[in-house]
Amino acid sequence: MSLLGFERGVSTLAQQIGFARELGRVVEAAVASGAVGDPVLRDRLVRQWAELRSMRWNALRTLGRAGDAGAPSVAKLLWGGWHQRLGELAMQVRGPRLRSGRWTGRRR
């Protein structure tokens, strides 16, 4: 596996632990604010969780494989778009309050 392959593939397994924590904080904020009652937002939360699982499966399938040269690039595309959507979802959960300052993900 090349350095780029490691950087964009298997190494994202550790990165996904952080992503899972971030998603957990967004879910906690949605529950605390009552935003989780919105079925569209709930669907987006579930979709984020499912996509995170898909990214994990994609990274795991690259372990020990030298023949799938495109998998690392797919991983980069997956996590880049996923993280952007998570940020957009966090903004939807927090609403205008998020735009007025730094959000730590903690309840006040």
pLDDT digits (tens, 9 = 90+) for 46-85: 999 999 998 888 777 777 655 566 666 777 788 889 999 9
pTM exceeds cut of 0.85? no
Q: Are 90 and 26 in contact (CB under 8 A)?
A: yes
Cα 91–Cα 88–Cα 23 angle in degrees, nearest 5: 85
Examine the residue annotation and report whether 88 is marked as an active-site residue of this protein.
Answer: no
Which pLDDT score is estimated for 41?
95
Q: Which residues contact 39 (CB under 8 A, 6 or more apart)?
A: none
Which pLDDT score is estimated for 66?
58
Closest CA to 107 of 17, 45, 34: 34
Q: List the catalytic residue out of 7, 28, 51, 88.
A: 7
Distance of CA 35 to the CA centre of its chain: 19
